[in-house]
């Protein structure tokens, strides 16, 4: 990533904004999108595991992976 960041500073010397080169911005956005997708997958897994734990605690039987994969969804 390019380090040619430029800061906008107010009268008191505090940084208020930053200018980022377009290439750096595009790279950051692409990384952000990928991380967001990973987060969605991991959150889904976490929710699924919580559902399994709750079902087991309540004595509810769950569908096996084999049964799920052999379902006819036509």
Domain assignment present for 29: yes
**pLDDT score of 17 more than 80:** yes
Q: Answer for the pair 19, 6: CB distance below 8 angstroms, yes or no.
A: yes
Domain assignment present for 49: yes
Domain assignment present for 25: yes
How many separate domains does the chain show?
A: 1
Would you give the distance in Å from CA 36 to the centre of its chain?
3
Write down the pLDDT at residue 33. 98
Domain assignment present for 13: no
Domain assignment present for 45: yes
Domain assignment present for 67: no
Give the residue numbers spanning the domain of 40: 21-59
**pLDDT score of 1 more than 60:** no
Domain assignment present for 4: no
Would you give the distance in Å from CA 54 to the centre of its chain?
24
pTM of the model: 0.62
Question: Exposed, middle or buried by CB within 10 Å (0-12, 13-18, 19+), for 67?
Answer: exposed
Q: pLDDT tens across 25-73, in order?
A: 999 999 999 999 999 999 999 999 999 999 999 999 888 889 989 988 7
């Amino acid at each position: 990533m390019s380090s040619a960041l430029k800061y906008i500073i107010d009268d008191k010397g505090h940084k208020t904004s930053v200018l980022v080169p377009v290439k750096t911005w595009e790279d950051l956005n692409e990384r952000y999108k990928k991380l967001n997708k990973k987060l969605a997958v991991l959150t889904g897994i976490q929710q699924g595991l919580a559902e399994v734990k709750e079902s087991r605690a309540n004595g509810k039987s769950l569908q096996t992976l084999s049964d799920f994969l052999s379902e006819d969804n036509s």
